[in-house]
Amino acid sequence: MLTGKHLIAGNWVGGDATFPSTPAHGPSRDFAIGTPADVDAAVAAAEDAFATFGWSTRAERATLLRAIADEIDARGDAITEIGTQETALPEARLQGERGRTVGQLRLFADHIQKGDYLDLRHDPALPDRAPLPRPDLRMIQRPLGPVAVFGASNFPLAFSVAGGDTAAALAAGCPVVVKGHPAHPGTGEIVAQAIDAAIKSTGTHPGIFSLIQSNGIEVGTALAQHPLIRAVGFTGSLHAGRALFDLCAARPDPIPFFGELGSVNPMFILPQAASARGPEIGTGWAGSLTMGVGQFCTNPGIAVIIDGPEADAFQAAAETALSAVAEQTMLTDGIASAYRDGATRVATGTGVTQIMGSSCDARHAAPYLFTVSGDDWLTDHALQDEVFGPLGIIVRVRDTEQMHQIARAIQGQLTCTLHMEDDDRDAARALLPLLERKAGRLLANSFPTGVEVCDSMVHGGPYPASTNFGATSVGTLSIRRFLRPVCYQDIPADLLPEKM
């Protein structure tokens, strides 16, 4: 059953003001609107919990992570039911996302138990060294403290209440305060119930987790500015993320803001691939572009191809495949409105030709396809801005040298893709050093939608793809975001935080 309340350190807390959910179908429900006082109570409890949770063993935290996964699975049917109502995502998508979410929790549990992520280093004492002795020095990664996490609109499970940021912070030993996303508050509450049950069953301090619901900016602002918050994890729009990033940087004690913000994930179709498989690539691109109504951060919004008959064939295949895609319901009215605004902006860009697309209303979206020359794309920097939805731009360049110009001009990306044949290897070899500087993940002959949760994944990139391109928000390396190195000099072994 839903309470419509916040979960603050093990207690379900209501409020004087509420906001209604806006489901795609099914009943609307009222949820409490959080306040700065709620934030202060949650963060104070998190700080109190950190005194013990920050020094808990890896085995204890692994047990907690597995218990959270089990409790989420136990509520799978309820999560799917309300999740489909709130987001219009199909049941299969939500079930798959739940599998990814619990799989990530279990992966992190296994990973921290191995202990490799701690990067332990030990330089033993050299008391007889001349001219000066060396002390005993041990370095280990230690948790930062309470972390604020912002739920994402497009992933109600994998990037929200118990998603990657929360899982990574808890694995590191950091308590978490989550600001729930108003697009799916009911889904968020059920997941919070699962976390609460896991905390109680494992005897963990209840202050390690709180969920505060809100449909405004007050809670997020209070979290980013709270003096006891040590880091922020965020997945969302460039506008909102940049505002929070600036708040974190402007604090008297600036803190890290790990934001994943925006990416157009360009594909570069090299000449031999265009000749051998242009229509096939165009059809595949259309499928990737419209997957989940284009509401993926890895949506490949730009295809770069040399102008000519091969580009015509690629474009025709993409147009045919996109024309067969019916209108679909987007996650929120706001996202749908922003999508329409983005399509209008692209349509009025320098030298842009609209190939297909029609007006869509309310919460619905249909694909848009545009084409532009390489010269005009390089001139109009606004064409690099992400449009969140099933919108694609074909950039027709003169030759591979202009492909290099495009690669140099693109902003930071989550992904860049090469479509290539064996005879394209020289061209690919010339492009890779350019693309490597622009993206966290480079692909060959596939499409970037879909992010594997594993040890080697990097989901991040130079700004504006993320605000810290030395980090990732997916995969076991994401835990390192919420740790810092500490050196212990001549500290007795029985006082150290981990077996070293």
Q: Kindly list the catalytic residues.
A: 260, 297
Q: What are phi and psi of 123, to 5 degrees?
A: -110, 105
Residue identified by tokens 């803001």 is 257
Dmax over CA atoms of the chain, in Å, equals: 80
Residue identified by tokens 């031999």 is 272
Q: Report d(CA 116, CA 96) in Å as an integer.
A: 29
Q: Report d(CA 158, CA 288) in Å as an integer.
A: 19
Residue identified by tokens 């207690």 is 11
Residue identified by tokens 């360049």 is 397
Q: Report d(CA 158, CA 105) in Å as an integer.
A: 10
For 86-213, list the strands marked E by DSSP: 121-123, 137-143, 147-150, 176-179, 209-212
Q: Report d(CA 439, CA 466) in Å as an integer.
A: 10
**Which residues are CB-contacts of 373 (< 8 A; sequence separation ≥ 6)?**
307, 351, 395, 396, 397
Please compute, for residue 354, the number of CA atoms within 13 A of its CA located in the half-sphere on the CB side: 14
Q: What are phi and psi of 288, to 5 degrees?
A: -70, -40
